[in-house]
Amino acid sequence: MPLPAAHRVPVVVRRDETTRPDEEWVVAEEPLQILTEAPGREPLRLAVTMRTPGHERELAVGFLLTEGLIRGLVDLAKPTFRELLPGVGRHNEITVRLARDFDHGALQRNFLATSSCGVCGKASIDQIERATPAIARGPAVAARAIAALPARLRDAQPLFEQTGGLHAVGLFDAAGELVVAREDVGRHNAMDEAIGRLVLDDALGAPPAIALVSGRASFELVQKAAMAAIPVLCAVSAPSSLAIRAAERFGMTLVGFLRDRRFTVYAHPERVAG
């Protein structure tokens, strides 16, 4: 059966000069092993990620899309999933059945590119730029709509309200209306889950205009948003130098320090109206 997303645990609370026993909710963190099964091939183990239980199918499909291994719903077989959720503390597995095999050379992409490694970072940007769809020049997004996004995402974070221990990603339309929100212990997982929902809904042809992440904007998050052709990426904290360079190359508007109805635009400000 599915694992719970939060647990009640005993704690000791210290306040002023008093100490008392209590209980608190903490977010669950469990491993998920993602496999693929293509026609004529044995199941292939791709990755193990630590995640918050609850959106395994979206996470697996989103991961495949954002890593360039599938193009969308067309590449998924029917039935698509085989799941093994044996219990807490062991590898939970999900196998995604594919309608066609993917290019196994794509697995050689450098997953460790950072702003401290200019050569591998440039190579990763080059490779991802070749793999990503072209990001459309529009739509224009009102500055007021961008400024209001954090409050709208916060309203869609019930687990954060309960535990205080998760990241979140929200996908919004150009008017700032929420399309999908996901919470997870890993911000990359939350992005994959939100994008995976788009894949399963066959909605990549008209992707949301804006992605908002509840943390910093890393290169990997820019990459994932670009693979889904999302034109505007916003973060409540700072972007990295490689994230800025990638956004410039991909034609993506990159917004940082989005909080208290203020923000800074680091790349392609032409989409921000007003």
Residues annotated as part of the active site: 117
Contacts of 201 (CB under 8 A, 6+ apart): none
Are the C-beta atoms of 184 and 230 separated by less than 8 Å? no
The backbone torsions φ and ψ at residue 92, rounded to the nearest 5 degrees and listed phi first, read: -90, 140
Distance in angstroms (rounded) separating the CA atoms of residues 232 and 132 = 15
Task: State the first-to-last Cα distance of the chain, in angstroms, to the nearest integer.
Answer: 50
Distance in angstroms (rounded) separating the CA atoms of residues 167 and 97 = 29
Distance in angstroms (rounded) separating the CA atoms of residues 199 and 262 = 32
Nearest-10 crossing angle of helices 219-227, 187-200 = 0
